[in-house]
Chain A
């Protein structure tokens, strides 16, 4: 049996184990409950929200699956490391365990994707009022923001937890990181001077919302959500590569080249997201009903 086959089967077994571990984690179920509840509220509360909740549903999976996912994955990674240390000279290298842990993000990603589909279906079943989505914003534009803020962040949060556990395996790091993540994210919503075009470099942000000076008009903020989704995907892959790079027995020269290549692509996509297509702030002429 070749080493590749052995490694592949080991990875498969470990991946299934980590997926089971993720599914057993209480924080994940708490986050899942919040996400499901929010999706239910979209339907129950639609008469009061005018479709706003549907277009901005991303906050639920981002907070409940992304932020909590960071802490969940940090804990799973530390547990995996402890098990490896207890086993002594183990046959499974760190990079295989890292890839198995990274594969476990399929759990929050699946739930976030279902939530995204429900939000999209409800978007068409009960379309938002025109004070919320007006002709300057296409349906695809809204779905790109929903996908980026909902699904991609449910993937990125746990990957960030994996990365932190690899490079900063200290007590309390996940907790502090969750707080700092929220702190920076809330400052990167595009609420400040000029709509903060640079905010597209952050992991989560809004692209439209009730942001005019009087708060009565919805506003499209600068930034291209389509490119932003691609940017997030590249950042996620970069996170996995960087986490694998931590293993001293991995092929570091190759991984270093790959990481720098991905970093360059991410920077280019970030700049493009900031400059291409939607560079200015545009207000909806229709006032909101709030």
Chain B
């Protein structure tokens, strides 16, 4: 079974995906407030890579051999181990601080993504489709990535994949944990702003080239009435 997996699983793609997942999550750990969308991207990539494991480009041939689909699927499942190990390691390494106190929820997301990708691919293979994983990954990975980038919608209908909890009293996370941070505009690219004092300090120097009392007064007088 191991020898079959060595030959059958697209290891180059799986290793590449696992490496990318590690890189993405390490970047999230480095600066979660700014780079959080990469977490969603990593989850989508896990789902796509898991689905890849079960693609059989030579399905017309192998479906006729004595080794049944169940046996081949079991053998190919070994590819998932690499993805799950990579995800578990990198999430545990990131820790609660970088994952906004939701390390285990994030861990569960990744494992669920792997399971979902594998389940879909196995189901389609059982229906005779040769490379369902490729189609699944092509649709899911960029879609989840785009969704993660537009994570500002998370407060109303997005998944926890897409955003850390930001609104006071509400949370997109499982468990309904409230965020201590102030509310932010609904459809704003949230990762642009970290709440004051939270997260690592910005590397941008706080230079105030543009600053004068008169211009400040002029700007205030020109501004429209404050909205609430």
- CB within 8 Å of B: which residues of A? 26-27, 30-31, 34, 38, 41-42, 45, 47-50, 52-53, 56, 59-60, 63-64, 67-68, 70-71, 75, 127, 129-131, 134-136, 171-172, 174-176, 178-180, 182-183, 186-187, 189, 191-195, 206, 209-216, 219-220, 280-286, 289-290
Scan residues 185-228 of chain B and give those whose CB is less than 8 A from a CB of chain A: 185-189, 191-196, 201-212, 215-216, 218-220, 222-224, 226-227
Q: Which of B17, B192, B210 contacts A56 (CB 8 A)?
A: B192
Chain B interface, >50% SS class: helix
Show 19 residue pairs from A and B whose CB-CB distance is below 8 angstroms, ordered by the A residue: A45-B186, A53-B185, A56-B188, A59-B189, A63-B146, A67-B145, A71-B142, A135-B219, A172-B13, A175-B45, A175-B141, A180-B20, A182-B145, A191-B202, A194-B205, A215-B196, A283-B211, A286-B216, A290-B184
Scan residues 110-148 of chain B and give those whose CB is less than 8 A from a CB of chain A: 134, 137-139, 141-143, 145-147
**Are A209 and B192 interface neighbours, CB within 8 A?**
yes
Q: Which of A127, A176, A213, A285 contacts B215 (CB 8 A)?
A: A285
**Are A286 and B223 interface neighbours, CB within 8 A?**
yes
Q: CA–CA, A78 to B10, complex, Å?
A: 20
The residues of B that contact A71 with a CB separation of less than 8 Å are 138, 142
Task: Kindly list 10 other residue pairs between chains A and B, CB separation below 8 angstroms, not including A50-B185, A186-B37, A290-B193.
Answer: A34-B146, A53-B187, A63-B149, A70-B142, A129-B227, A179-B41, A280-B207, A283-B209, A283-B210, A284-B219
B23 touches A (CB below 8 Å)? yes
Return the chain B residue nearest A185 by Cβ.
B149
Scan residues 22-56 of chain B and give those whose CB is less than 8 A from a CB of chain A: 23-24, 27, 34-35, 37-38, 41, 45, 48, 52
With contacts A129-B223, A179-B45, A183-B27 taken as known, whether A52 is within 8 angstroms of B210 at the C-beta atoms is: no
Return the chain B residue nearest A51 by Cβ.
B224
Q: CA–CA, A172 to B193, complex, Å?
A: 33
Between B147, B182, B219, the greatest number of chain A beta carbons within 10 A of the residue's beta carbon is seen for B219
Q: CA–CA, A59 to B16, complex, Å?
A: 27
B72 touches A (CB below 8 Å)? no
Least distance between B191 CB and chain A CB atoms (Å): 8
**Are B203 and A191 interface neighbours, CB within 8 A?**
yes
Q: CA–CA, A45 to B186, complex, Å?
A: 7
The residues of A that contact B206 with a CB separation of less than 8 Å are 212-214, 283
B150 touches A (CB below 8 Å)? yes
Scan residues 148-204 of chain B and give those whose CB is less than 8 A from a CB of chain A: 149-150, 153, 182, 184-189, 191-196, 201-204
The residues of B that contact A56 with a CB separation of less than 8 Å are 188-189, 192
Q: CA–CA, A34 to B134, complex, Å?
A: 23
Least distance between B145 CB and chain A CB atoms (Å): 5
With contacts A171-B134, A285-B215 taken as known, whether A192 is within 8 angstroms of B203 at the C-beta atoms is: yes
**Are A210 and B193 interface neighbours, CB within 8 A?**
yes
The residues of B that contact A283 with a CB separation of less than 8 Å are 206-211
**Are B142 and A130 interface neighbours, CB within 8 A?**
no
**Are A134 and B219 interface neighbours, CB within 8 A?**
yes
